Chain A
């Protein structure tokens, strides 16, 4: 038995888990784990041909369980997601293993558990991504769910509560997926992908509907799709800093991966398109598209109201997932490319943003947007990282988020979906407003007296952030680099492939060349700079208290930066629309379950054997008859 490159990757990943488990209590554990992530990334690079249309690589490891063979293999789709997973794990772990780690230990955090949870997350994600049939997919899915729970719950207190909420949702989702798998097995007679592919075209409509609902809900829960989105923001926000950077970057994209694999690749978007909803004009695909759009709008506008920087970012993570799904559901060459590219882009800027916010917490001790301000003069590099990150998040040139969102918008227009387009643009509007709040309340405005001696983040945290910043800009300038991987993913799952170039995409209905876009943009800055410096370049720096506040004399003890109730004017218009309906829904489901369990309790507290026997017999008879 020879080791394939995939086996090597699993081996290294397993070693990383072992190292974290056995040596995690020693001091350089963080560095060791980081180096091992690097080695895993190198092992992944050995499979780099996958990203450019290479043949899938199988693992030598196969099992035979009750007539079902379990196998693992990597194709372009797995490789693309594994690249993002390992990249974000490497940088988050690097970020963690310097000063952050010492502070975390001093403040009573369990560092061993943190590294173990991170390595387990990566290991289980790799197993999920490599799944070669539905059974191994389910095993990987469960592993990812529990590993994620470990990382989310470790901070204790509020975090544990959020993680319990997550695991409740995740288990409900897993049950739905398990039901779906059982249904597939009934109709296809096998859980191998090839068998399902052939069976999918002959399934009855009702059957396919059931499968789409079960799998869609199960995977959608992990992605935080409406209406299953409530767990995500608190769970991610309460995870220790680098952990939330990692989770925010990739964790919920596992849901997207599974949707791509099962709904798009196995069932086929054409089959889903044929599922009409009776008495309406829409079909299952439109339903998915509208769910995606609402997932963009509601969480984004919820993010706008958050007063904790991490909560704000975590809510955006949910909203941006909507763009990915929207692009995939449109499923033309550009839309699918945009949706997939957004996975990569989102991972880069979301990790950078969480890291920047964690750096601010590291230095000031708070992420409360009402207790910060003016930090640009004390943490200028972190400011720059956050600035680049929010430009990416808001989808503005010259950063990479612009490219993927442009592709999604373009495909919506090309395919004649103006309402979805307008809805997506409303989501972007909310994004821009809320990221401005983020950068304004932390970095702009008045520097507080207590932050006068704040220092820039340490280099161990700065370097990973700067690397991410560089990636965000470079993949914005040359989106052809990730688009090549995206194109082979599209090929692997049977979607049309766009005609991509180094600078963007070529299309008869409108091309994009970021090299030109960014060239023109910087030429504009250049002309402005030339005029300014040619005219003498005169500028004057003034003290922040030498400021105009209607003529008042400003003193350091009086706050003149307004951060609370930031969009008061807008909230005056739309504030009444925040009704917390989904919270109400969650609460009522919870009450219903509590009520039912109370009833059941009443039943079995009655220690009456004859009654049980009778009711069971009745139930069995009813089951047989029906």
Chain B
């Protein structure tokens, strides 16, 4: 969380007088149409059904579940993250389209909680990916979950919830922590550096010694090209 404050804020000059109105409108819409991908890792998941269904009804806030990361806005991690699970969580996080937000529910995501002494549990989630919001408690009640979600909505509306940019700007730091846990051969299908270039979010911390290690063994996954194939060469075998 500390690193968020380090992000240099670049004030762009907007010449269009309607630009601020438009920006405000976009942020308003963004904050009121949120799709959650809930990655239910632990016991906190049990508090989500009441939050979703008729008693607390998070859909009245414009929040509803989504089945795939490509269309989701919020990644909800509900409990302790074992090292095996963490790999999947990172894969899923990287597959989400920006802007994306991460919420850690339960004490386990904050500091490991009751699994503090476990050798197989990642203690602090925000060492591996930027977390926008923690909802602490063991476990937090649905009211707390909803209050947290509302807090996130406010932060999106005010433009403060931009920690996803931090993942691109300080990729080397996060990758270093990931490599420390998973070994140096660690690789996900998503090419974060290319994406950082795409979003124009290359910062000082994007590249470093950890990304160099990654580049040495990275096998890029190129998208399948649509081809008619008439000019295709026969396989040489």
**Interface residues, chain A, CB within 8 Å of chain B?**
374, 376-381, 447, 453-456, 458-459, 541-546, 548, 550-554
Contacts and interface: CB of A to CB of B under 8 A. Distances in A.
B199 to A, nearest CB: 11
Interface string B33-74: 000000100000000000000000000000000001110000
A455 B225 contact: no
B121 interface: no
B133 interface: no
Given A548-B95, A551-B91, A455 B230 contact: yes
12 contacts: A374-B224, A376-B226, A380-B228, A453-B234, A455-B230, A455-B232, A456-B228, A456-B230, A544-B224, A545-B189, A548-B68, A551-B91
A411 B69 CA distance: 47
Contacts of B222: 543
A378 B227 contact: yes
Contact of B92 (A376, A381, A455, A548): A548
B92 A551 contact: yes
A377 B226 CA distance: 4
B77 to A, nearest CB: 11
Given A453-B235, A551-B39, A543 B189 contact: yes
B225 A377 contact: yes
Given A377-B224, A380-B226, A546 B88 contact: no
The 7 A-B pairs of least Cβ separation, nearest first, read A551-B88, A455-B229, A543-B221, A541-B223, A546-B189, A456-B229, A377-B224
B89 interface: yes
Contact of A545 (B39, B87, B89, B221): B221
Interface residues of B, number: 26
Contacts of A541: 223-224
A384 B223 CA distance: 21
Given A543-B189, A543-B221, A543-B223, A551 B89 contact: yes
A379 B221 CA distance: 21
B82 interface: no
A51 B147 CA distance: 73
B221 A553 contact: no
Contacts of B230: 455-456, 458-459
Interface in B144-190: 189-190
B223 A453 contact: no
Given A377-B227, A548-B95, 6 more contacts: A456-B227, A456-B228, A456-B229, A551-B39, A551-B89, A553-B91
Contacts of B189: 542-543, 545-546, 553-554
Interface in B206-237: 221-230, 232, 234-235
B221 to A, nearest CB: 4
Given A546-B189, A546-B190, A553-B87, A447 B224 contact: yes
The residue among B39, B85, B228 with the most chain A CB atoms within 10 A of its own CB is B228
A554 B230 CA distance: 30
